[in-house]
């Protein structure tokens, strides 16, 4: 089973502050993703990466940056946190594109509250 670790598990931030969410995976997966989940809804893709030092925009990238300094690590950065970014954030990884390699394995999530 893939191991994806997120930190912190929860965070309270002030409006306008900078927030960094971290994700670390230990399964040699090339692909990593950041999703957000709002109460009562499914997950929406923010950013993803398929190789170190490169990131791609997902479906809702506005207000977020991502950084992939190594294969194992993928960060999500909120430069100026806003109330609307209060949500639970999930990191995920997958091995590749073909067949079952695209199975996503999720971390436990980070609950972010912006006040």
Partner 1 sequence: GDQVEQSPSALSLHEGTGSALRCNFTTTMRAVQWFQQNSRGSLINLFYLASGTKENGRLKSTFNSKESYSTLHIRDAQLEDSGTYFCAALTGANTGKLTFGHGTILRVHP
Q: Which residues, 7 to 66, sit near partner 1 by CB under 8 A? A: 31, 33, 35, 40-45, 48, 50, 56, 58-59
Contact residue for partner 1 among 68, 90, 112, 114 (CB under 8 A): 90
Q: What are phi and psi of 40, to 5 degrees?
A: 80, 10
Give yes or no for a contact between 43 and 37, defined as CB atoms under 8 angstroms apart.
yes
Number of residues that bind partner 1 (CB under 8 A): 28
Question: Is residue 113 a contact residue for partner 1 (CB under 8 A)?
Answer: no
Dihedral sign for Cα 90, 94, 97, 100, please.
negative
User: What is the nearest approach in angstroms of partner 1 to the Cβ of residue 109?
Assistant: 5
Give yes or no for a contact between 68 and 55, defined as CB atoms under 8 angstroms apart.
yes
Nearest residue (CB) to partner 1, 35 versus 64:
35
Task: Tell me the C-alpha distance between 55 and 110, whole Å.
Answer: 20
User: Where does this chain bind partner 1 (CB under 8 A)?
Assistant: 31, 33, 35, 40-45, 48, 50, 56, 58-59, 88, 90, 94, 96-97, 99-100, 102-106, 108-109
């Amino acid at each position: 089973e893939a191991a994806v670790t997120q930190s912190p598990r929860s965070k309270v931030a002030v409006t306008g502050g900078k927030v960094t969410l971290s994700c670390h995976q230990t399964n040699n997966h090339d692909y990593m993703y950041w999703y957000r989940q709002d109460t009562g809804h499914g997950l929406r893709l923010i950013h993803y990466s398929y190789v170190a030092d490169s990131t791609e925009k997902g479906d809702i990238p506005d207000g977020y940056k991502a950084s992939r300094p190594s294969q194992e690590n993928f960060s999500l950065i909120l430069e100026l946190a806003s109330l609307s970014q209060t949500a639970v954030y999930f990191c995920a990884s997958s091995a590749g594109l073909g067949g079952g390699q695209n199975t996503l394995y999720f971390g436990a999530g980070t609950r972010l509250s912006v006040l």
